[in-house]
Amino acid sequence: MAKTARIEVMDQNLAEALRNFLKAVLNREEISAVLAPRRLPMKNRVMPALITDPQQLDQADPLSPAFAVNSARLLSRLTRKPSGGQVAAVLRPCEIRAFVELVKLKQGRTDDVVIIGLDCLGAYSNRDYFRWATEPPEAATQKFSRAVLTGSGAAMDGVDLSPACKACESPTAEGADIAIGLFGVDTAKEIWVQARTAKGESLLGKLGFAEAPEPASRPKALEKLIAERIAYRDEMFQRTRAATETLEKLSTYLADCINCYNCRVACPVCYCRECVFVTDVFDHEPSQYLRWAEHRGAVKLPTDTLFYHLTRLAHMSTACVGCGQCSNACPNDLSLMELFRSVAHRTQAAFGYLAGRRIDEKPPLFEFRENEFPEVVGISRPSAG
């Protein structure tokens, strides 16, 4: 399959070429709306928007280093039940992966959505972005995208990509219906597009772009980028593990946590309607606090901090896609992404699972395998047929 095409970039204006592409998509009769990052009309900020008016797409800014929320959660709300129309969703790779996890958790459906994924240029943390985004928005995005795509790097004006993006070894849109290739492509002249599913191929075919092979320079460029990311990631794993390898160290690591639970609100795969930590299960009896205090002479308040993070690791680490929104959301700058990714890397490896990789791959807890982890359960036996 994998129909591929090229889109011409006029006047070296990459953003404009992308917007025109999105407009062409929205003009199709079967597409009711486009979900894409868009500049707010009232402030110089980029937030996801559901756009039905092609004119509004003039404000779409898919290359901006702003990443205020992971759109997977938003897309899941749009697709939980039939909406009566089809949405083209422009997502970062980590947003696609999170959406895939949510679909497996029955929190969204792929039926009424065409996912358009971009090679991800990365993003700044919210705080860095707010500091950095002072120039006119169009110029700022252009400066950023050129810097990244020409290889001079995203570090500029005292800000750099968020650690999550630096450690991201999956910057291409593997799970998209239509993937847009930027790395290793001469984006001054063209964009490379690839339909990765039958649905994507059907749509791309109707848009009438010229077929084109994958640019020769792309695989090498990606290989180099991913190698750098993996090196950063592995160093991060090592650092984080060293800082959290005992219960004491982990407590120290999380010492600044104030149980605000923002990290799970921001987490795209934390899908509970209401977190167990805000239910009556954790409404402790007053006498309980006294007993805790008596036990060691003092009890840290609020309680259940470590318990909360360990629980979230237990629940969500097999679904963690490494988007870094937890760190983004933390008011006290805890390095949560680093902790989650380090643990997730190992829990997912233990089950031979990779969050968001494939829609037809069952999450580990959905499957019962009788002869699993004999070293843990202490039973090993030859299988009888």
**In the complex, which residues of this chain contact other proteins (CB under 8 A)?**
105-107, 251, 271-276, 279-281, 287-288, 290-292, 295-296, 299-300, 303-307, 315-316, 362-363, 365-368, 379-385
- The CA–CA distances, whole Å, from 311 to 109, 242, 275, 322 equal 27, 21, 11, 17
- The CA–CA distances, whole Å, from 275 to 118, 144, 333, 348 equal 32, 37, 22, 23
Minimum distance from CB of 106 to other proteins (Å)? 5
For 142, the token pair is: 């252009």
Residue whose CB is less far from other proteins, 15 or 299:
299
Q: How far is CA 336 from the centre of its chain?
A: 15
For 355, the token pair is: 């969050």
Residue whose CB is less far from other proteins, 155 or 278:
278
Minimum distance from CB of 310 to other proteins (Å)? 8
Minimum distance from CB of 186 to other proteins (Å)? 44
Residue whose CB is less far from other proteins, 144 or 271:
271
Residue whose CB is less far from other proteins, 29 or 280:
280
Burial class (CB in 10 A: 0-12, 13-18, 19+), 71: buried
Minimum distance from CB of 362 to other proteins (Å)? 8
Q: How far is CA 200 from the centre of its chain?
A: 21
Residue whose CB is less far from other proteins, 84 or 368:
368
Minimum distance from CB of 234 to other proteins (Å)? 29
Residue whose CB is less far from other proteins, 21 or 271:
271
Q: Which among 150, 232, 157 has a CA at the least distance from the CA of 188?
A: 150
Residue whose CB is less far from other proteins, 206 or 362:
362
Burial class (CB in 10 A: 0-12, 13-18, 19+), 16: middle
Minimum distance from CB of 292 to other proteins (Å)? 5
For 184, the token pair is: 């290793």
Minimum distance from CB of 243 to other proteins (Å)? 18
Distance CA 173, CA 179 (A): 6
Element (H, E) at 336: helix 336-350
Residue whose CB is less far from other proteins, 50 or 299:
299
Q: Where are the beta strands (DSSP E) in 215-282?
A: none
Minimum distance from CB of 133 to other proteins (Å)? 35
Residue whose CB is less far from other proteins, 30 or 245:
245
- The CA–CA distances, whole Å, from 376 to 82, 230, 246 equal 43, 29, 20
Residue whose CB is less far from other proteins, 231 or 365:
365
Minimum distance from CB of 299 to other proteins (Å)? 6
Minimum distance from CB of 252 to other proteins (Å)? 13
Q: Where are the beta strands (DSSP E) in the chain?
A: 4-8, 33-39, 46-51, 87-91, 113-118, 178-181, 190-195, 210-211
**Residues 6+ positions from 173 with CB-CB distance below 8 Å:** 91, 92, 93, 96, 115, 117, 118, 119, 120, 179, 180, 196
Burial class (CB in 10 A: 0-12, 13-18, 19+), 366: exposed
- Rg of the chain over CA atoms, in angstroms? 22
